[in-house]
Amino acid sequence: MKENQYVLAIETSCDETAVAIVKNETELVTNIVASQIESHKRFGGVVPEIASRHHIEQMTITLEEALSDAGMTLDDMDAITVTEGPGLVGALLVGVNAAKSIAFSKDKPLVGVHHIAGHIYANRLEKEFEFPLLSLVVSGGHTELVLMREHGSFEIIGETRDDAAGEAYDKVARTLKLPYPGGPQIDRLAQEGEETIDFPRAWLEDGSYDFSFSGLKSAVINRLHKAKQRDEYLKPEDVAASFQASVVDVLSTKAYRAAEEYGVKQMIVAGGVAANKGLRAALKEKFKDSETELLIPPLHLCTDNAAMIAAAGAVAFNQGHRAGWDLNANPGLDLELYGSRKHNSK
Ligand code: KG4
Ligand code: ZN
């Protein structure tokens, strides 16, 4: 790595248009996020077509804001990195094409980044990684336990068999008539409620690190329907607290068990649900006497941003990864395959 290396990153996989610059792999220079949440709220979720249009409108503005905030120009960048997947194809395409245009016109190397690798690497902006490590990835689209033995290598030891944790939060929130995105709303209500309902915990087979949240989601919806039929009042705070207790119990217990079994040096929490107060507290409690160091990113690095893409992209760049001009949006990009794919030189 040259002495002062600057990597620019673009992230447009869902409903945030984001641009960031990272210096020497781990120093955050600027991190600009233009959120579209307000536009999607009235539909109760992200509308892909609207997301793509917003990305087109926001892309150049966000890029200019990041450069001006950093007091730098595109010529100062050593590499252009971009989320190539997974995500919404139309949304991803805006970022991928912006990155390709910049790299081509400024003759810079181009690197494609996996969105979840980004979520994991958000933690490296705070603390150096020590391998082997495990990452509990909990986002709107993913719930998995990822083992990393070295930089850029990802082994999934457990994953959800149905809904992602964030998805379950959003669906239960919609049933409680809370605005999108529901995760933070349930989290807020849960702090004010009591665990009065004993919702199921999906432990699955002995020793499995897989997850399942659809049964819990149905249990919450059924309980609410039953209450309505009986004219019974359930405090939304208590429903939220009971639902959250089940999710947090399973996530933190499986994460702890995996950390013990694999003897990892660090347990990293990644993705939007890592912002959850209940989950953060439960993990801190579980790992308080453990030899495994627990890393949880600050809130602004939990939800989607481009700093995390720059952090993962800089490592991939320094490992020799290069994308060609045929780089395309890849909505179903596989994490393990991404980590193991051959270097593709420009
Ligand atoms: O990682 P992220 O920003 O986007 C994806 O890559 O999916 O995660 C978004 C998800 C949403 O489902 C949102 O409801 C959830 O993260 N989320 C939360 C909290 N903050 C965001 N879920 C529970 N508690 C929170 N505090
Ligand atoms: Zn994400």
Output the CATH code of domain 129-296.
3.30.420.40
Angle, in degrees to the nearest 10, between helices 48-70 and 89-106: 30
Q: Report which ligand 1 atom has the smallest distance to the Cα of 182.
A: 14
Of 302, 309, 15, 53, the residue nearest 165 (C-alpha): 302
pLDDT in tens, 147-190: 999 999 999 999 999 999 999 999 999 999 999 889 999 999 99
Contact predicate 70/78, CB 8 Å: no
Q: Is 119 known to sit in a ligand binding site?
A: yes
Q: Is 141 known to sit in a ligand binding site?
A: yes
pLDDT tens for the chain, 346 residues long, are 778 999 999 999 998 999 999 999 999 999 999 988 888 888 888 889 888 999 999 999 999 999 999 999 999 999 999 999 999 999 999 999 999 999 999 999 999 999 999 999 999 999 999 999 999 999 999 999 999 999 999 999 999 999 999 999 999 999 999 998 899 999 999 999 999 999 999 999 989 999 999 999 999 999 999 999 999 999 999 999 999 999 999 999 999 999 999 999 999 999 999 999 999 999 999 999 999 999 999 999 999 999 999 999 999 999 999 999 999 999 999 999 999 975 544 4
Residues with CB under 6 A from ligand 1: 14, 139-141, 166, 169-170, 181-184, 187, 271-273, 275-276, 303-304
Domain ranges for the chain: 6-121+302-340, 129-296
Architecture of domain 6-121+302-340: 2-Layer Sandwich (3.30)
Q: How large is the C-alpha radius of gyration of the chain?
A: 20
- pLDDT confidence of residue 342: 56
Q: Is 137 known to sit in a ligand binding site?
A: yes
Q: Do domains 6-121+302-340 and 129-296 have the same CATH topology?
A: yes
pTM of the predicted model as reported, rounded to 2 decimal places: 0.95
Q: Report which ligand 1 atom has the smallest distance to the Cα of 119.
A: 1
Q: Is 139 known to sit in a ligand binding site?
A: yes
pLDDT in tens, 98-155: 999 999 999 999 999 999 999 999 999 999 999 999 999 999 999 999 999 999 999 9
Span from the CA of 280 to the centroid of ligand 1 (angstroms): 13
> What is the C-alpha separation between 153 and 127, in angstroms, rounded?
18
- Nearest residue CA, atom 13 of ligand 1? 183
Work out the burial of residue 320: count CB atoms within 10 Å of its CB; fewer than 13 is exposed, 13-18 middle, 19 or more buried: exposed
- Nearest residue CA, atom 14 of ligand 1? 183
- Nearest residue CA, atom 8 of ligand 1? 272
Q: Report which ligand 1 atom has the smallest distance to the Cα of 167.
A: 12
What DSSP letter does each residue of 242-292 carry, written as one string?
A: HHHHHHHHHHHHHHHHHHHHHT-SEEEEESGGGG-HHHHHHHHHHTTT-SS
177: tokens are 């008539």
> What is the C-alpha separation between 343 and 326, in angstroms, rounded?
14
Report the 10 Å Cβ neighbour count for 67.
19
Span from the CA of 140 to the centroid of ligand 2 (angstroms): 7
Q: Report which ligand 1 atom has the smallest distance to the Cα of 141.
A: 7
Span from the CA of 119 to the centroid of ligand 1 (angstroms): 12
